[in-house]
């Protein structure tokens, strides 16, 4: 098991035991966003020049009002010199929380912007296909698709676009020497 998975799963267990899964996820997103916006905070958190005790006190202050799981997790990362994997751990933790809550995130790319009604129908259909899970759609528009849609979920990509079908047809024709 990778370090990212180990940390994410330990955080998940701790937050679940304290009944603070989603709040911890929100806190971590807030912390990562703050890191992205503040160069001094990045130097502090990712840097190695600050003594451990001072860094732990600062993390207490920075996470005041956040969950115990958030504070403890950030301290453990800092203590173990693994701050550089923070964002990967947060992504894996988010996957664990979504899975636990019965949610699945699907990236949907279409050639044109879809209406809310069309998105609702897609969400409902995917929910049935995915055995009742709540589908969270992240939508993108790519006019080069010509028509149809491309779905990405859980590391899988399903290309139902006209462009994808045309490319597959071309590849099959080239394989058979028809072109």
Asked if residue 153 and residue 83 are part of one domain, the reply reads no
- 10 Å CB burial of residue 162 (0-12, 13-18, 19+) is middle
Query: CA 41, CA 36: separation in Å to the nearest integer?
Result: 9
- 22-74 pLDDT, tens digit each: 999 999 999 999 999 999 989 888 888 888 888 899 999 999 999 999 999 99
Using alpha carbons only, what angle is made at residue 87 by residues 20 and 59, rounded to the nearest 5 degrees? 65
Gap between the Cα atoms of 25 and 81, Å rounded = 21
Q: Mean pLDDT throughout 10-30?
A: 95
| Residues 113 and 89 placed together within one structural domain of the fold | no
> How many structural domains compose the chain?
2
Same domain membership, residue 78 and residue 163: no
Q: Is pLDDT above 80 for 155? A: no
Strand, helix or coil for residue 155: coil
DSSP state, 161? S
Domain termination site, one of 98, 128, 150: 98
Return the DSSP state at 109: E
The tens digit of pLDDT for each residue in 76-101 reads 999 998 999 999 999 999 989 988 88
Mean pLDDT, rounded, for 4-8: 94
Answer yes or no: is pLDDT of 178 > 70: no
Task: Report phi then psi at 110, rounded to 5.
Answer: -130, 165
Indicate the average pLDDT of the chain: 90
Paired residues of 139 in beta bridges: 108
Residue 7 has pLDDT above 80, yes or no: yes
> What per-residue confidence (pLDDT) applies to 171?
87
Q: Measuring CA to CA, which residue among 77, 27, 84, 88 is closest to residue 52?
A: 77
User: What whole-number percentage of the chain has pLDDT above 90?
Assistant: 57
Residues 77, 142: one domain? Answer: no
């Amino acid at each position: 098991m990778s370090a990212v998975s180990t940390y994410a799963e330990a955080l998940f267990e701790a937050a679940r035991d304290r009944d603070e899964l989603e709040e911890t996820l929100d806190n971590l997103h807030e912390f990562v966003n703050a890191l992205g916006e503040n160069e001094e905070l990045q130097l502090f958190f990712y840097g190695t020049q600050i003594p451990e005790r001072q860094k732990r006190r600062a993390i207490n202050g920075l996470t005041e009002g956040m969950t115990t799981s958030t504070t403890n997790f950030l301290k453990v990362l800092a203590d173990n010199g693994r701050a550089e994997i923070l964002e990967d751990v947060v992504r894996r933790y988010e996957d664990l929380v979504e899975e636990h809550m019965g949610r699945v995130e699907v990236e949907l790319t279409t050639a044109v912007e879809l209406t809310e009604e069309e998105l609702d129908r897609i969400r409902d259909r995917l929910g049935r296909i995915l055995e009742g899970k709540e589908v969270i759609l992240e939508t993108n528009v790519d006019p080069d698709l010509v028509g149809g849609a491309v779905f990405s979920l859980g590391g899988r990509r399903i290309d139902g676009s006209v462009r994808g079908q045309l490319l597959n047809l071309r590849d099959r024709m080239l394989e058979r020497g028809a072109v």
